[in-house]
Structure 1
Amino acid sequence: MSRLSSAFERTLPDEAATARLAADLALVLKQGDVVALSGDLGAGKTHFARAFIRALAGDPALEVPSPTYTLAQIYETRPKVTHFDLYRLGDESELDELGFEEAVETGLVLVEWPERAPDTLASASLHIELTDGPASGRTAHIRATEDAAKRVARTLAARDFLAQAGFAEADRAPFQGDASARRYESVAAHGAGPMILMDSPALVLGPPVRDGLPYARIAHTAETVLPFVAIARALSEAGLGAPAILDANLDAGFVLMSDLGRGIVLDETNCPIPERYEATMAALAHWHAHPPRRELPALGDAVHVVPPFDRGALSIEVSLLLDWYWPHLRGRLPDEAERQRFETVWNALFDRLGDAEPAIVLRDLQWPNLVWRPDEAGLKQVAILDFQDAMIGPSAYDVASLAQDARVDMPLELEQRLLDHYIGLRAAQDGIFDRARFAQDYAIMSAQRSTKILGIFVRLFRRDGKPQYLRHIPRIQSYLQRSLMHPVLGDLAALYRDWALLDDTAARTQDL
């Protein structure tokens, strides 16, 4: 029975369309994939292969000779791609000498004339057959395995979305993403400025974890692109820097937005630039000065109802420490008594947040989500990204997110400078701004955020195979130690001290 079950078909009226299809597929294929490319002489296989490899290399001028005589050619792209042309293959056994299996194990494989070696067809995750028609030009018939078919369907849907937005012939290229399942691409089209395509299919909810609900529902994690579109619009209307939404398909999960540039808030040594962080604090103070709206228009008649950062969300987030960070250190899950003590301490702190100043908290204000734009003026000099999980909650959360940036070392002196800057701006805006109350809320929310992040970074390591996140743990521990100095966190400080949760040596070396 063939492994290739799903089928797709694309009409390719010219060589440019063939090259676009090759580039679109290169965006979603990965190490271990085998692409079998069939067709008669002159059907366009070599043109397709050349465009595919150039897209992987990110070099439209890369020399890609046909390996008709050498039979195989390796390109150090990401992932590495080995291009086989089996037209002159004498016997299928020669595949071993050509290193076919090793090529599959260590990279991506593209095979022309796979019919000359049936084993290549048997191992293919994608089989593309190019045929010529009398009127419509070339046609690509694509069959794929179940896993590859999901990725192929997604990249073809993205192309269709761009066509509907008026950019059918746009060039697409991979763009650095984040720790989520979302994908980003840079999009270039004649007559248009630089654009970014967000590919964010509906969130797949996990199993129930509490009260019959999955984690995402309790934590109010965005399940579609609707919140992103709505918050981007609200930020822009408030006079702040945010991506302009050029088009969106809320059901399919595609958003086309303006590319805000590559300016960052760090210097050449990857240290925070104080003035740029202060500018971000000024934008945040302006945002927080306006009472939060629960209902935000998004696109057309669609309205996003901003969820509350309620006790359920607060508590499920800190519980990540018990579920992931604790066993990372201890080699076991906490027992019921330990969980009860943890929940008792945190519930008392959450009680104190009952009358905290509310705001639409953007949730992830750290340097990779900030774009510095020196050509802009005022509050728009800094633009904000990655805010789809925004909730209505204590304004201090966003201040803590920025002043204790999880991705870069924030010296205590700079953290205090940023706090003073924000508080000064808020006090000037609001004569009754309560500095002492804000300091208490800041301590609680910074501790809540750091506690959550310790769990998230270990989860990214253990569940998602991303050990690089462990290097951030000592920084998060140091932030927690600062926060725990506030008197309101006395019980939490005693708890974390009793459990030795801030032993950075153990956290960094466990299971590495």
Structure 2
Amino acid sequence: MDVTLPEGLDAFLAAAGWPNAVVEPLPGDASFRRYFRIRRGEETAMLMDAPPPNEDPGPFLRAARWLDHNGMRAPRILHAEPERGLVLLEDFGTVRMRDYLDDWPADEEEVYAGAVDALKDLHRLPPGPFLDYGLAEYQREAQLLVDWYVPARNLYVDSRGYAGAWEEVLRPLLPNQRPGVTVLRDYHAENIMLLGNLADQGLLDFQDALIGHPAYDLVSLLQDARRDVSAELEAKMLERYLADHSGKREDFLADYARLGAQRNAKIVGIFVRLWKRDGKPRYLSLIPRVWALLERDLKHPALGPVARWFEANIPADLREALGGEWQV
């Protein structure tokens, strides 16, 4: 963990009204961002260090302010100097959904129900001031599997056929995401904080928000790359969401499978990239879970073209080994 304090931090904290505060480094995430807890007596705040040019806090600030303005529980912005990459935020504490459920698994259904209900609240709002989640972006993300996983396995694959299969699979869902909802894009148990009771949940890591399909964040939550979610709980939470959904159930479930497969293919590529490019091999251990979810999504009839591509291009032994073992 990098414990070096950001340059100019004392002046930033003084301008924010937090001079002479105690600064505690915290573990980071898969990005170049770093986090610190700021203490002043009994009060605490969170410092996000997102230094240019690798990071830009502008999208985070825009999304946080929109969410807060619309009644969603994003951390309030206490002070920001985006040109320096420094943002002082409300501190949501230390109780992540993931950690809480590790200690209190009996509360799993109640906690996930709260997370699904928060998505329902978000989806009742008009879409935010974000770009559309279009076919080009879906394709770019799915391509990460071919760009990173495939060469790491020394495979030769039909890249053009891969893109064509995804276009055939994804194009039918595009009309179903109009007018669209705000999609946070990384909504899972490590990015949800519990704020005093199980239903009061705070949002994190939403700087990449787009306007897209309501199934996307639901599949992010229920097909979690970092935590096992049983098929029974997934089905129950899908039913909870669909109870208030006005569209056709079969269409929504087909799109859920499409986006699940697209997202899981993307995540496999990202985890290999984190190893190869960024020197973070710890994410490789998560690939079998993600691959198992991908294989399950590929069984849906809506994924036929992509499923056939995998059958023709990814060796059976790798698929049976859920992506295969890795020598780091």
Q: Tell me, yes or no, if the aligned pair for 1:471 and 1:508 is still in contact at 8 Å.
A: no
Give secondary structure in 2 for the equivalent of 1:196: strand
Q: Tell me, yes or no, if the aligned pair for 1:265 and 1:273 is still in contact at 8 Å.
A: no
Unaligned runs of 5+ in 1: 1-25, 29-153, 205-222, 295-305
Output the CA distance in 1 between the equivalents of 2:8 and 2:189: 31
The 5-angstrom pairing of residues 351-366 of structure 1 reads: 351-357=171-177, 358-366=180-188
Residue 253 (structure 2) aligns with: 439
Q: Tell me, yes or no, if the aligned pair for 1:27 and 1:155 is still in contact at 8 Å.
A: no
Letter in 1 for 2:139: S
Residue 37 (structure 2) aligns with: 186
The 5-angstrom pairing of residues 79-90 of structure 1 reads: none
Q: 1:482 to 1:505 in 2, by over 3 A?
A: closer
Offset at residue 333 of structure 1 (A): 5.1
> Is 1:399 the counterpart of 2:218 in the alignment?
yes
Offset at residue 447 of structure 1 (A): 0.8
Offset at residue 327 of structure 1 (A): 1.8
Q: Tell me, yes or no, if the aligned pair for 2:66 and 2:128 is still in contact at 8 Å.
A: no
Letter in 2 for 1:341: G
Q: Tell me, yes or no, if the aligned pair for 1:323 and 1:333 is still in contact at 8 Å.
A: no
Residue 421 (structure 1) aligns with: 240
Letter in 2 for 1:497: E
Output the CA distance in 2 between the equivalents of 1:314 and 1:157: 39
> Is 1:247 the counterpart of 2:76 in the alignment?
no
Residue 279 (structure 2) aligns with: 465
Q: Tell me, yes or no, if the aligned pair for 1:328 and 1:510 is still in contact at 8 Å.
A: no
The 5-angstrom pairing of residues 70-109 of structure 1 reads: none
Offset at residue 312 of structure 1 (A): 2.0
**How many residue pairs were aligned?**
320
Give secondary structure in 2 for the equivalent of 1:257: strand
Q: 1:349 to 1:270 in 2, by over 3 A?
A: farther
> Is 1:349 the counterpart of 2:169 in the alignment?
yes
1:446-477 CA-partner distances (Å, limit 9, x unpaired): 11100000101111112222221111111111
Residue 102 (structure 2) aligns with: 268
Q: Tell me, yes or no, if the aligned pair for 1:196 and 1:258 is still in contact at 8 Å.
A: yes
Residue 326 (structure 1) aligns with: 150
Offset at residue 433 of structure 1 (A): 2.9
Residue 327 (structure 2) aligns with: 511
> Is 1:314 the counterpart of 2:138 in the alignment?
yes
Letter in 2 for 1:243: P
The structure with the greater share of residues assigned to helix is 2
Q: 1:333 to 1:235 in 2, by over 3 A?
A: same
Output the CA distance in 1 between the equivalents of 2:67 and 2:151: 40
> Is 1:202 the counterpart of 2:52 in the alignment?
yes
Offset at residue 158 of structure 1 (A): 2.3
Output the CA distance in 1 between the equivalents of 2:145 and 2:135: 16
Offset at residue 506 of structure 1 (A): 7.1
> Is 1:382 the counterpart of 2:233 in the alignment?
no
Offset at residue 444 of structure 1 (A): 1.0
Residue 46 (structure 1) aligns with: none
Letter in 2 for 1:308: D
Q: 1:506 to 1:398 in 2, by over 3 A?
A: closer
1:425-459 CA-partner distances (Å, limit 9, x unpaired): x33xxxx3332221121111111100000101111
1:294-321 CA-partner distances (Å, limit 9, x unpaired): 2xxxxxxxxxxx2221222111111110
Q: Tell me, yes or no, if the aligned pair for 1:280 and 1:382 is still in contact at 8 Å.
A: yes
Letter in 2 for 1:261: G
Q: 1:241 to 1:504 in 2, by over 3 A?
A: farther
> Is 1:373 the counterpart of 2:187 in the alignment?
no
Q: Tell me, yes or no, if the aligned pair for 1:364 and 1:401 is still in contact at 8 Å.
A: yes
Offset at residue 269 of structure 1 (A): 5.5
Q: Tell me, yes or no, if the aligned pair for 1:244 and 1:258 is still in contact at 8 Å.
A: yes
Offset at residue 350 of structure 1 (A): 2.5
Output the aligned Cα RMSD. 2.1
Relative contact order (alpha carbons < 8 A, sep ≥ 6): 1 or 2 greater? 2
Offset at residue 261 of structure 1 (A): 1.2
Output the CA distance in 2 between the equivalents of 1:189 and 1:265: 26
Output the CA distance in 2 between the equivalents of 1:323 and 1:415: 30
Output the CA distance in 1 between the equivalents of 2:308 and 2:123: 33
Offset at residue 332 of structure 1 (A): 4.2
Letter in 2 for 1:374: G
Letter in 2 for 1:346: W
Q: 1:196 to 1:504 in 2, by over 3 A?
A: farther
Offset at residue 420 of structure 1 (A): 1.0
Residue 482 (structure 1) aligns with: 296
Residue 288 (structure 1) aligns with: 123
Which protein is bigger by CA-based radius of gyration? 1
Q: Tell me, yes or no, if the aligned pair for 1:401 and 1:446 is still in contact at 8 Å.
A: yes
Give secondary structure in 2 for the equivalent of 1:356: helix
Letter in 2 for 1:289: R
Letter in 1 for 2:165: V
Q: 1:346 to 1:270 in 2, by over 3 A?
A: farther
Q: Percent identity?
A: 36
1:121-173 CA-partner distances (Å, limit 9, x unpaired): xxxxxxxxxxxxxxxxxxxxxxxxxxxxxxxxx72322221111111211101
Q: Tell me, yes or no, if the aligned pair for 1:177 and 1:183 is still in contact at 8 Å.
A: yes
Offset at residue 375 of structure 1 (A): 4.1
Offset at residue 368 of structure 1 (A): 1.2
Q: TM-score by structure 2 length? A: 0.91
Letter in 2 for 1:500: I
Letter in 1 for 2:117: A
Unaligned runs of 5+ in 2: none
Letter in 1 for 2:285: R
Q: TM-score by structure 1 length? A: 0.59
Residue 61 (structure 2) aligns with: 229
